[in-house]
């Protein structure tokens, strides 16, 4: 488990390109498109990501004229798409007449591997797809952000890569705090990582207080009050379907 330390100043050109690309994808997907990443928090593995039906799409923007540096790498894009069992897509953009425009037609998405067109609706099926650990962690970050914000905390930064910790940073009156977050599936139990005190030492100089938290998930039809029998498997948690979700709140790292 690595600690988050990436610092990156986003250019105005990139931000404007990102905004234009997001508007285009929203227009194409309409109400069926569910955003996963639609924010500019670093670190970047993808620039934008969304779910359409039972499929996930991870998008990296590309300036076809090569004038604007884009954060992140194609290797990162390939990794998150692979870990989430989704599609890695390149979205070529061009700055023309004062605006960022799509350089292609339709969805303006190309496969990372061979730059052939990607048409998301054509890839949606009726198959039930179980959520991967990476998907579940991203879901956990969303749940934790929502719960903490509603309880009055200020979530100042976050990242959804389970290999990078902390997952969340808090500000506000309580001072700077970080949160190592876990996503657990029924009947698993959360466990404070063995290296959490190493993370604590890494951020002590910044005067930041450490916390641990977890989000537990189960299929909405799972009887979580009854232990599984020997050899019995829990019901899968499917992409895009309802699940029972429980947030632990912030826990002391010494417990």
The arrangement of strands across the sheet holding 209-219 comes to 154-158, 168-171, 177-185, 209-219, 243-247
User: Residues 113, 149: one domain?
Assistant: no
pLDDT at 254: 86
- Convert 77-146 into a string of H (helix), E (strand) and C (coil): HHHHHHHCCCEEEEEEEEEECCEEEECCCCCCCEECCCCCECCHHHHCCCCCCECCHHHHHHHHHHHHHH
pLDDT digits (tens, 9 = 90+) for 127-142: 999 999 999 999 999 9
Question: What mean pLDDT comes out for the span 135-152?
Answer: 97
Q: Per the structure, how many domains does the chain have? A: 2
Of 123, 143, 175, which residue constitutes the final position of a domain? Answer: 123
Check pLDDT > 70 for residue 6: no
CATH, residue 109: 3.40.1350
User: Residues 111, 150: one domain?
Assistant: no
pLDDT at 222: 96
Of 123, 142, 159, which residue constitutes the final position of a domain? Answer: 123
pLDDT digits (tens, 9 = 90+) for 180-215: 999 999 999 999 999 999 999 999 988 999 999 999
pLDDT at 5: 47
Give CA torsion, residues 215, 217, 223, 224, to 10 deg. Answer: -30
User: Residues 179, 92: one domain?
Assistant: no
Residue 252 lies in a domain: no
Residue 142 lies in a domain: yes
- pTM (two decimals): 0.92
User: Residues 181, 96: one domain?
Assistant: no
Selected residue with higher pLDDT from 8 and 129: 129
User: Residues 103, 40: one domain?
Assistant: yes
Structural domain boundaries, residue 64: 2-123
Residue 152 lies in a domain: yes
User: Residues 107, 71: one domain?
Assistant: yes
Of 123, 152, 184, which residue constitutes the final position of a domain? Answer: 123
pLDDT at 8: 65
User: Residues 187, 109: one domain?
Assistant: no
pLDDT digits (tens, 9 = 90+) for 97-128: 999 999 999 999 999 999 999 999 999 999 99
pLDDT digits (tens, 9 = 90+) for 41-99: 999 999 999 999 999 999 999 999 999 999 999 999 999 999 999 999 999 999 999 99
User: Residues 194, 83: one domain?
Assistant: no
User: Residues 40, 119: one domain?
Assistant: yes
pLDDT digits (tens, 9 = 90+) for 10-53: 999 999 999 999 999 999 999 999 999 999 999 999 999 999 99
Residue 128 lies in a domain: no
Give dist(CA 87, CA 120) in Å, integer. Answer: 9
Check pLDDT > 90 for residue 255: no
Strands 55-63 and 87-96: parallel
User: Residues 102, 144: one domain?
Assistant: no
User: Residues 117, 151: one domain?
Assistant: no
User: Residues 241, 167: one domain?
Assistant: yes
Residue 229 lies in a domain: yes
pLDDT at 156: 94
Give dist(CA 22, CA 230) in Å, integer. Answer: 48
Question: How many CB atoms sit inside 10 A of residue 254's CB?
Answer: 10
């Amino acid at each position: 488990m690595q600690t988050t330390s990436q610092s990156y100043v986003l250019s105005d050109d990139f931000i404007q390109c990102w905004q234009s690309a997001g508007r285009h994808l929203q227009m194409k997907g309409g109400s069926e498109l569910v955003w996963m990443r639609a924010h500019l928090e670093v670190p970047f593995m993808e620039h934008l990501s969304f779910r359409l039906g039972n499929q996930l799409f991870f998008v990296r923007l590309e300036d076809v004229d090569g004038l604007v540096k884009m954060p992140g790498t194609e290797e990162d894009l390939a990794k998150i798409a692979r870990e989430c069992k989704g599609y890695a897509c390149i979205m070529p953009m061009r700055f023309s007449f004062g605006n960022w425009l799509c350089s292609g037609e339709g969805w303006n998405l190309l496969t990372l591997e061979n730059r052939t067109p990607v048409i998301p609706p054509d890839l949606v099926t009726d198959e039930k797809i179980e959520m991967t650990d990476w998907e579940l962690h991203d879901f956990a970050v969303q749940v934790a952000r929502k719960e903490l914000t509603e309880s009055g905390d200020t979530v100042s930064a976050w990242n959804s890569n389970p290999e990078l910790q902390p997952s969340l940073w808090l500000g506000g009156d309580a001072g700077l705090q970080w949160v190592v977050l876990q996503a657990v599936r029924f009947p698993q139990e959360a466990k404070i990582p063995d290296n959490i005190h190493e993370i604590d030492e890494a951020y002590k100089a910044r005067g930041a207080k450490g916390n641990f938290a977890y989000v537990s998930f189960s299929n909405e039809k799972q009887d979580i009050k009854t232990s599984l029998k020997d050899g019995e498997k829990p019901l899968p948690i499917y992409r895009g379907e309802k699940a029972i979700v429980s947030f632990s709140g912030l826990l002391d790292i010494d417990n």
